[in-house]
Chains A and B, each alone.
Chain A
Amino acid sequence: MTLSILYVDDDDDIRHIVALSLGLDPNLSVRVAASGREALEIVDTGWLPDVAILDVMMPGMDGLEVLEHLRERDAAETLPVLFMTARGRAADVADYRSRGAAGVIIKPFDPIGLAQEVRDLLRASS
Chain B
Amino acid sequence: MTQRERWSALYVREPRAWRSILIALLVPLVLGTALLVLQSEFRRSERLRTLAAASYDRRIDQILLLSNLKGAEAAERGYLLTGNPDFLKPYAPARAAVMRQLAAMRDHYDADVSRDYPRRITALVAAKFSELDRTIAAAERGDRSAAVASVATGSGKQVMAELRRNIGAMIDREAALSHDRGTAYLAQRTALQQATVLVCVGGIAILLTFLFAGWRLHRQRFAALVEAFEAAERNEVILDSTIDAILILNPSGTIERINAAATAMLGFASEDLERRDIASIIDIAPGEGSFHKRLDLREGQLGRSFLADRTVLHRDGHSIAVDVAMGVMSLPSGDHIVVSLRDISERKRVERVKDDLMSTVSHELRTPLTSIVGSLGLLRAGSAGALPESASRLVEIAENNSRRLIRLINDMLDIDRIETGQLHMVREPIDLRLVLDQACTGSEGLARGNDVSLDCHQADRPVLVSGDPDRLLQVITNLLSNAIRAAPAESTVDLSVAIDPGGRAVVSVEDRGSGIPVSFRNRIFGRFERASTSHHSSGTGLGLAISREIVSRHDGTIWFEDRPGGGTRFAFALPRIGAVAEHDVDAPRILICEQDDATGSKLAALVVKEGCAYDLAGSDAEARAALGRGDYAALIVDLNLPADGGLAFTRFARDGEMPFRGPIIVVSPNAFAEGEEISPLDMIDWIDKAGGTDRLSSALRVALQRTDSRRPLVLHLDDDRDLLDVVAAALEPEVRIITATDVVSARALLQTTSPDAVILDIQLASGSGLDLLPFLVDPEGLAIPTIIYSAQDTASEIVAQADAVLVKARGSIPDLKATVRRLVRARVAREVDA
Contact = CB atoms under 8 A, between A and B. Distances in A.
Interface of A: 11, 13-14, 17-18, 20-21, 23-24, 57, 86-87, 89-91, 107-112
B371 A11 contact: yes
B375 A86 contact: no
A111 B381 CA distance: 9
Given A108-B374, A109-B374, A111-B374, A24 B359 contact: no
A91 B424 contact: yes
B8 interface: no
A111 B378 contact: yes
B374 A18 contact: yes
Contacts of B367: 11, 14, 86, 107
Interface centre among A14, A20, A57, A111 (most CB of B within 10 A): A111
B415 to A, nearest CB: 14
B503 interface: no
B416 to A, nearest CB: 11
Given A86-B363, A91-B424, 15 more contacts: A13-B371, A13-B375, A17-B371, A17-B374, A24-B383, A86-B362, A87-B362, A90-B424, A108-B370, A108-B372, A108-B374, A111-B381, A112-B377, A112-B378, A112-B381
B362 A108 contact: no
B252 to A, nearest CB: 43
Contacts of B371: 11, 13-14, 17
Contacts of B381: 24, 111-112
B525 to A, nearest CB: 24
Contacts of A20: 374, 378, 383
Contacts of B362: 86-87
A23 B370 CA distance: 17
Interface in B382-436: 383, 402, 406, 413, 424, 426
B4 interface: no
A33 B458 CA distance: 46
B366 A17 contact: no
Interface in B550-590: none
Contacts of A108: 366, 369-370, 372-374, 402, 406
A17 to B, nearest CB: 4
A112 B362 CA distance: 23
A21 B374 contact: yes
Contact of B370 (A57, A89, A90, A107): A107
Contacts of A87: 359, 362-363
Nearest to B383: A20
Contacts of A18: 374
A18 B362 CA distance: 20
Interface centre among B363, B373, B377, B413 (most CB of A within 10 A): B377
Nearest to B363: A86
A84 to B, nearest CB: 9
A86 B383 contact: no
B374 A86 contact: no
Contacts of A14: 367, 370-371, 374
Contact of B377 (A11, A23, A89, A110): A110
Contacts of A17: 370-371, 374-375, 378
Nearest to A108: B370
B470 to A, nearest CB: 8
Given A11-B371, A24-B383, A111-B373, A86 B366 contact: yes
